[in-house]
Amino acid sequence: MTIPDAPPDVAPMIRTIAMPADTNPAGDIFGGWLMAQMDLAAGNAAARRARGRCATVAVEAITFHSPVRVGDEVSLYAEVLHTGRTSMRIRVQAWRRERESDHTNRVTEAVFTFVALDATGRPRPVPAS
């Protein structure tokens, strides 16, 4: 798999700073923290596409390419890959920018599946785009 040199040429769904409270004993950011940020970004894309409430039902092939360090700026990009009757597959990429430079690299990626929900929490059709 080839890792691109630059993040997608769109606005990120989320941009945040990795903080000391999010680290493991080695000083790297927990993978679980990064996965939670990715889920938030995918959920934002799903809610926009479905025009309402959605729930995560699966995460495929999360890959951690390199660590995130305290102080890094993390940008999360989400792209709807496929829309079914009630579900959506959304690819999320996480990119980091080192705190004291302009160097960026992709650190994590995964595909999330969301289901659109009605007011009672039951699956509902995703509206036509």
CA distances from 30 to 22, 60, 76, 117 (A): 6, 19, 16, 30
Reported as a single tens digit per residue, the pLDDT across 72-86 is 999 999 999 999 999
Helix (H, G, I), strand (E, B) or coil at 76: strand
Q: Is residue 66 part of a domain?
A: yes
String of DSSP letters for 85-112: SSEEEEEEEEEEE-TTSS-EEEEEEEEE
Q: What is the pLDDT of residue 27?
A: 83
Q: Is the pLDDT of residue 1 over 60?
A: no
Please give the pLDDT value at position 3. Answer: 61
- 101 found inside a domain: yes
Question: DSSP of 5-57, one letter per residue?
Answer: SS--SS--SEEEE--GGGB-TTSBBPHHHHHHHHHHHHHHHHHHHHTS-EEEE
Longest dimension (CA), the chain: 48
Asked whether residue 8 is assigned to any structural domain, the reply reads no
Residue 2 lies in a domain: no
Residue 28 is predicted with a pLDDT of 87
Q: Is the pLDDT of residue 4 over 80?
A: no
Whether 125 is in a domain gets the answer no
* Count of structural domains within the chain: 1
- Residue 95 corresponds to which amino acid? W
Helix (H, G, I), strand (E, B), or coil: what is residue 60?
strand
Whether 123 is in a domain gets the answer no
Domain that holds residue 50: 14-116
Q: Does 121 fall in a domain? A: no
- The CATH number given to whatever domain includes residue 68 is 3.10.129.10
Rounded Cα–Cα distance for residues 70 and 41 (Å): 20
